[in-house]
Amino acid sequence: MLKKKLFWQAILISILACVAATLFAGWLAREQAKEELQGYLHDIAEQAMLRSDRAYTVSGHFLEQLDKSDFNDCSEAHQQRLSNITFSELFVRGVIYAPGGVVKCSASSRSNYPLPPPDQQTMLGRSLWFEFKGDLPKPSILYGKGPHYAVIDSQYLVDILPVKKRGLYIEVDRNQRRLASTKNVKPKPDTTWLQQTSVSRTNPNYKITASLPPKELQRAWQDYFEDLLPLCSVVCIILIGIIIWFTRRSFTMGLEIIEGLRLGEFVVYYQPMILLANGEVGCAEALLRWQRQNGSRISPDLFIGYAEENGQISLLTRFVLEKVATDLALLANTDVSISVNLAGADLASPLFVENLAALCKKHQLAPSRIELEITERSLVLGQGEIEVITRLRQAGHIILIDDFGTGYSNLSYLHTLPVDILKIDKSFVQALGSGAATHHVALHIVQMATALGLSVVAEGIETAEQAETLKEMGVEWGQGWLYAKAMPFEELRQFLQTPTPATLKPLSSDPLPDAV
């Protein structure tokens, strides 16, 4: 069942990972396409503005020279001068001579007609006609203040020849009136078009806008997405590989736990609990260790956490209880008890109480010799778990709350749960005399336990000063490297046979083992 579940989870996660990688590639391709096209439009708009500025600047320059010249009639010399300007400037369709607002002549014509009223006035005092035709074949922009005027080809302002023309649309407007626009393209882009606008440095009302239709963004996006697809495929394969590796590792861990139990790789160590008043050993905590046949050791934090999450913790608890019961039977001539850590899954099992009772009967053990520890994080329990704990205590087992002070415990839980002993977490013991913020937590826990009629065990005692301070606080039991580290059963038997097994020993320089 677990293998099948992991298999389908791996498939689902792999699919989601590939979808996520593809969606990210699509989003990245779109952002890159949009950035490229916006940069392209910005360059086009700037280029068009430079052409436009040049047209008006050059026009203004030669108009000023003509207006200051001695040409005040339509002589052949005057017309030849106008013809030379028309021929030399790409954007000029013609130059007309219109003193007093009446056209007299141009480079090739002597037609006479009045100028229509101008459309707008520029900041330099020159007039603008947006669709001036006169005797020309096509409407143009007329620019000047008289008597000479430049006829500017409006298409010059928008006929940009970029490397990639695409579906480019350029529009020139002044004071929100269009002067020129690209031919044969949608005349008014909608909001889905990409746009970039360039504003004249000399006239904020003069703007040139370059636009591209949505199909160009789609085309650019497809190009980028096709380029990203190989990378996307590689990322997808890597993600699938990682997922499969983690899945196989998780599933392999489950198989290895079962195989390790079969091969006897798991062993139970015991760490004594000392009565601080006289140094006697009253109990020992059972700690599970896993040493592979190849000599490597697996951290309890790793395999215990995995077993809890994947439903194998009950197998380990059953193994520990069997070993503890067997070892206690060999200590029949002592009053020493052994505490065993329980998981939430153990308390949720409806047969746990009956199985433990059968185990005690099999080895002829009083239930009080197997004490049961519940970590504080397991105290968020349902009514069924609370009933199991109550039945265990009624059967004669001592109930301890482990790592007290680090989780969710409060007075309401301690009033409702059938608890006998609180174990102070080692972090609070190590804070004694350090001036840390948790310096007084141990004392408060002892006072709380005393008020509730509970005994207290202090974990992680490493120095004689800590032991003395805890004894003065009223702590009854101590556990830690000051007295003994976790040891195999045979060493525990020898430890119990010494005349004063709890004689204080100097703290070892070896690293502390992981406790379970």
Per-residue pLDDT of the chain (516 residues; tens, 9 = 90+): 445 565 666 677 778 878 888 888 888 888 999 999 999 899 989 999 998 889 999 999 999 999 888 888 899 999 999 999 999 988 999 999 999 999 999 988 888 999 999 988 888 888 999 889 888 878 889 999 989 999 998 888 888 766 566 678 888 888 888 888 887 666 555 678 888 999 988 788 889 998 888 888 888 888 888 888 888 788 788 877 777 766 665 556 777 888 888 889 999 999 999 999 888 999 999 999 999 888 888 888 888 888 887 778 999 999 999 999 999 999 988 889 999 999 888 988 879 999 999 999 999 999 999 999 988 666 556 778 888 999 999 999 999 998 887 655 555 667 777 899 999 888 888 888 776 767 788 888 898 888 888 999 999 999 999 999 999 999 999 999 999 999 999 999 999 987 654 444 443 334 444 443
Ramachandran bin of 201, using left for φ above 0, alpha for ψ from -120 to 50, beta for the remaining angles: alpha
Look up the pTM and report it.
Answer: 0.53
Question: Rg (Cα) of the chain, in Å, rounded?
Answer: 46
The Cα-based distances of 159 to 49, 131, 132, 170, 462 in angstroms read: 12, 18, 19, 8, 87
Tell me the angle at which helices 300-309 and 214-263 cross, rounded to the nearest 10 degrees.
110
**d(Cα 71, Cα 92) in Å, to the nearest integer?**
20
Query: Of 439, 423, 433, which Cα lies nearest the Cα of 465?
Result: 433
**d(Cα 126, Cα 237) in Å, to the nearest integer?**
67
User: Which residue reads 């890597």 in tokens?
Assistant: 238
What is the token pair recorded at 329?
Answer: 């039977």
**CB-neighbour burial class of residue 391 (10 A; exposed 0-12, middle 13-18, buried 19+):** middle
Strand bridging mode 337-342 / 140-144: unpaired
What is the token pair recorded at 20?
Answer: 């996520």
**d(Cα 420, Cα 397) in Å, to the nearest integer?**
10
Query: What phi and psi values does residue 115 have, to the nearest 5 degrees?
Result: -75, 140
